[in-house]
């Protein structure tokens, strides 16, 4: 029988993996959630465990979910030969992600609707609006960027996204998202200008057609 890579226990089940293993107990204690770990360790099924987690208050619920997620990735990484992260490090990352997600859910003053969510503001008639965003994953030292261009009705005209390895921080990714978005907006503006120039040229050619054109008055022969 295979032994679990983190503690050497013969066999593996979800309750031991996430709540009963001595290694994972250190993570829950470091995160200040030992009481919750004890409560969840008494669950007899995955469905009951999920139900108990969803009944926790906001911050404890989020932090518990992040701990489970990170411990699962930690288990797989160690199994593939990577060095094990410390319990304090895993707990710290889980706390940071909880804080970041909590901040994202808090709307900025002046940009809220009746339900408390951030509202996208429409541009003026005939104007396109560019929105950009950047993200950063501390544990992977990588980030992502994205942009979307909409018209006054909210219809998406163009969008794009990408990944950046060896990123430094969110402050690194957000300017990169701006550069990508502005570059796309510039190319789009050039395409629109070229299309309008072509329209004007074709219109001038049509209006200045010679008298021998088959569309001109008197050009038809009997």
Residues above pLDDT 90, as percent of the chain: 22
Report the SS3 class of residue 210.
coil
pLDDT at 9: 62
- Number of other CB atoms surrounding residue 206 within 10 Å: 10
Nearest to 173 by CA among 128, 214, 143: 143
pLDDT score for 2: 47
The residues, ordered by sequence, that sit 6+ positions from 72 with a Cβ below 8 Å of its Cβ are: 17, 18
Name 163's Cβ contacts closer than 8 Å, sequence gap at least 6.
142, 143, 144
Helices 22-30/58-79 angle, 10° precision:
140
Residue 216, pLDDT above cutoff 80: no
- Res 1: pLDDT: 39
pTM value?
0.48
Share of the chain above pLDDT 70, in %: 81
Kindly state the average pLDDT of the residues 108-127: 65
């Amino acid at each position: 029988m295979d032994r679990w890579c983190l503690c050497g226990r013969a066999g593996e089940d979800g309750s031991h993996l996430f709540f009963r293993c001595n290694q994972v107990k250190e993570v829950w204690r470091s995160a200040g959630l030992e009481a919750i770990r004890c409560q969840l360790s008494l669950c007899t099924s995955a469905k009951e465990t999920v139900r108990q987690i969803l009944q926790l208050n906001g911050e404890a619920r989020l932090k518990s979910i992040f701990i489970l997620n990170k411990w699962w990735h930690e288990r797989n990484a160690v199994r593939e030969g990577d060095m094990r992260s410390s319990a304090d490090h895993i707990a710290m990352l889980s706390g940071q992600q909880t804080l970041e997600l909590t901040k994202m859910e808090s709307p900025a003053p002046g940009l809220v609707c009746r339900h408390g969510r951030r509202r996208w503001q429409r541009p003026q008639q005939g104007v396109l609006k560019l929105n950009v965003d950047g993200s950063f994953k501390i544990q992977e030292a990588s980030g992502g960027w994205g942009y979307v261009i909409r018209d006054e009705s909210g219809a998406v005209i163009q969008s794009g996204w990408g990944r950046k390895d060896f990123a430094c921080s969110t402050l690194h990714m957000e300017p990169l998202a701006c550069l990508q978005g502005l570059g796309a907006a510039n190319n789009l503006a050039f395409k629109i200008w070229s299309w309008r120039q072509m329209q004007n040229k074709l219109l001038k050619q049509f209006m200045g057609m010679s008298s021998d054109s088959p569309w001109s008055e008197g050009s038809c022969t009997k």
